[in-house]
A and B are shown apart, each in its own frame.
Chain A
Amino acid sequence: MAAKKQPAHPLEDLIRVDRIPHIWCPGCGVGSVFASCLAAIKDTGIDYRKFTMVSGIGCSGRGAGYVKLDSFHTTHGRAIPFATGIKMAKPDLNVIVFSGDGDLFAIGGNHFIHAARRNMDLTVICINNLIYGMTGGQVAATTPNQAKTATTPYGNPETPFNLPLLAYASGATYVARWTMIHVRDLIHSFVEAINHRGFAFIEVLSPCPINYGRRNKESAMQILHSFQDKTIIQNGADPAALDMDLTKSVTLGKFIHVEKPTQDECYAKVCMGEE
């Protein structure tokens, strides 16, 4: 009896194996989040041809390049409007936006709030590593106050976004936050987000030891430990109370999960007269 061929990877059918090795650094968390996302896609049981992934620019933005789905690596900050075009032209697709904090919330911030306001039926996964990693560690809209970066050598004088609050205030109908070590919760959350009809946003904290940790004297392992030791899970927490301080406490969980008509449903009903 011939031995059954071992797959190169349990998610082989969703990975462009011919593109491995990937670009992510040792100690980076993007790969774990990416694997969780693929595991969730698989877990939904939905035909892969009904999925598409869109990324912007940056380390996380390379996600679309490794997934064996119809996938798009767009311009900096514009993954959401690209995804919006796809979704509105073909509403039966599950459109996943996989990108980073710099891409989605600085250059792409305007698109994020408007897609949330429309309750555009997208799954938006934001890998938040608190920094612009690919360009060498410059301050981001998510960098903690006082943190050292390549462009804040004296410490960050600015205040970071509370991303779940921003998503909630903009109209997102599913909002969660996890870290890349919370793999089971993450996969569960991604499955929920994909199945959710409406704008789903998941923030995933992830280490950038090379460009954030190095300047702030935190090793990859120390960052992972803080993800374990300094986080509490509090589902349904008030989004206004979710400011982060990884030296003290960061609240994780699913904060918002409500049903509301989506943009494509509303367009069909209001503009096309469909029941």
Chain B
Amino acid sequence: MSPDIYIETGTTLKWLLTTAWLLPLAGFLIEVFGGYWSGRKSRAAAYLAVGCIATGFVCSLIALLTWIDAANLNVSDIWQNPGAVAAASHEVSEATHADHEHDAHHAGAEHDGDHEHVAPSHSEAEHHGHAVHGNNPLKFAFNGTFYTLAKFGSIQVTLDYYIDGLTVLMFTMVTFIATCIHLFAIGYMSDELTESYEDHQVHLPGGKHFHRPGRFYRFFSFLSLFCFAMLGLVLAGNIFQVFIFWELVGVCSYLLIGFYVERKSASTAANKAFIMNRVGDFGFLIGLMILWTWFGTFQFANTNPDQTGQQGLFQMVRTDTGEIETEGEGLNRVAYMQSLSGQRLMGNDGQARRIPYWLLVVAGLGIFAGCVGKSAQFPLQTWLPDAMEGPTPVSALVHSATMVAAGVYLAGRFFPMFTPEVLLVIAYVGAITAFIGATIALVVTDIKQVLAYSTISQLGYMMLAIGVGGWLAGLFHLITHAFFKSLMFLCSGSVIHGCHHEQEMTKMGGLYKKMPITCWTMWIGVVAISGLAIPITLPYLGAIAFSGFHSKDAIIASSLSFSTLNPTHSLLFFIPLITAGITAFYMHRMWFMTFFGKPKDHHVHEHAHESPWVMCGPLLALSFFAAFCAVGGESGPLAKLLLTSEPTHVAGGLQAAGNIGLNLPSHHDIHECHGQAGVMALLAALMGAVIAYLFYCKQAVDPALVKARFESAHRFLKSKWQFDEIYDAMFTRPVHVVAKWCTGFDREALDRFLHSCASLAVGIAQWDRKFDEAVVDRIVNVLGEVTFAAGRTLKGVQTGRLRQYVMFIAAAVVCLFVVLFLFLPR
């Protein structure tokens, strides 16, 4: 691709994605102001919101096609060589690093010489003994600035865009899922279309329910704002801008989780989500400060073809070969920053600019802390199940395309900044989260809670994959998970809607005849998330399986090769493997309990009905993608698209990296484990599914007996690993104790002091009053009395007789004359 076409493509993508990004904002503004006047029974807001997001989806789709065209991803060659995963990735890699020396395992990759250079390269400088190209650790991206917010000398805060394969894919995924959810919500939220909505869960004194005007338009305006925030986060070109939209996403989730604000549980859940996120964001801020202080920029990378302008964070941290150039050991270790042309970056004092390695680790951990909060990772996962208090479409949006996806997205986007130490932390946090989420999902009986915990568990999988160096696997799973999880949430919404807001699975059962579409679309989601497949490998298609199999397979393969390379961390392979089995079990348990077996509550069963088409349509659309979006597995189009934006250093792996000497697997290593890992994961999943079938469909074993046998374990899981209790004991109660002390101090010391001050003031005031009355008032009164007496005395002089006055005047004149003549000197 020549520079001209590069710029042209970049501009096209920029405008398409900006349109898709800003449309929901325009929609939000019109809905939130217009909705107020259009009345409570108008569906106009919903149609506007759907229109905005659907137009955004069309724009994103065009952008995706533009991208495929620009990246030279020939869709037809997906079918030619299903085995060679590496080949797919390296065609693009070649495009950017035409003269790059191949590692041994790349040798098989066919080099297409016609591909021109995207991140254009040939600087004359020699570095590390081979020709240096532009230092762009991300192979293929467009960036630029919308607007400069502030400028401090040479450093500036800007609103940027950064577009690569991941951005475009996320846009398409988010807008598509959001469109489906918007459509679904038109049906689901239709009972809000009233002047007087009765909230059955808010009990007023006197046994009545709370009545309020319907909030249809408000719901859709919040949804639009949510989409705007998420799309802005994905489009953002610098980490500070990400932070802005990060917070905006948080606010939107707060508004939507607390949508039924009159319910105590909903408002508490909204607060909990918001506060938990604050904890993570504190780390995020620390990371931001370190980056700002040491690097002086927030930008991800500068992809300018002529290598002018300022270098971005990724370019400063990584050399053109994707390494962090370090020196020294332990705490004295420093990392050298790199310039755009791939040399050491010189500061103003002529010294090479560098950053203490441990600060780089802290910055990475800080940013990851933000991801922990947003993506509900251990130990901040407790907000996510509570967030089920929001309406079900919100849960679907929060759990698939927006909120929680943001954390994983950022971990993937910021991957070049993470040192091996940070990656290890990410991997362990992910593994622990996956396991905790899956085990709790085993025992909960609320249909939405099962899905909530499965989300936590799957997010743990994604983080684990990113942590073990399976960048592709993590983000692959993010995309596929978004489809099948939003599908399953909408299905659960359909069930809840059909059962008149009954969420307990213990009251359902046998619904498959009543709602066949919901039942079978949900089956697709369940099979996808369980990672089930038919173990036959077809030529050109890979295994016959839904999307979840491919992505989970990739994750297990990554973790297997990681634990092979680092035997001390073999736990990172066994936890996800066991969790895969548990996942299959609890998902099938949910499906069987809801749709099969005997109806447990006849009242619910009799009134259950299939949902209207506006709700079933999105289910069918989503189930198509949940089934087939990952077709071809890691050599399929989706994975290829993702690979275009994979950081360069991932493909080759790392040996003995960082202070802890971690080995990260290369594409080749992962590919070698693929077969083995796939078989193990499939066996685990099949086992889980079969056990669930025996338990809940065939009734071969009575679950109640098992429950009684493992009573204490059940109680432990039912109380969600005691996390809420632990946090209560660790944070809430100490705060209460401190608060009690503070009140005591206030009462005993401060109040007493203030009260004595007050009584002193009262005493002074009383004395002052006496002085006023005795002295000041008396003087004033005497003056008044004197004046009054004088007036009274002089009153007699005024006779009112005119002729008398004239006589006085005449007499006075005569007197004056007499005096004048007598005394005036002649």
> Do these two chains interact?
no
Residue positions of A touching B, CB distance < 8 A: none
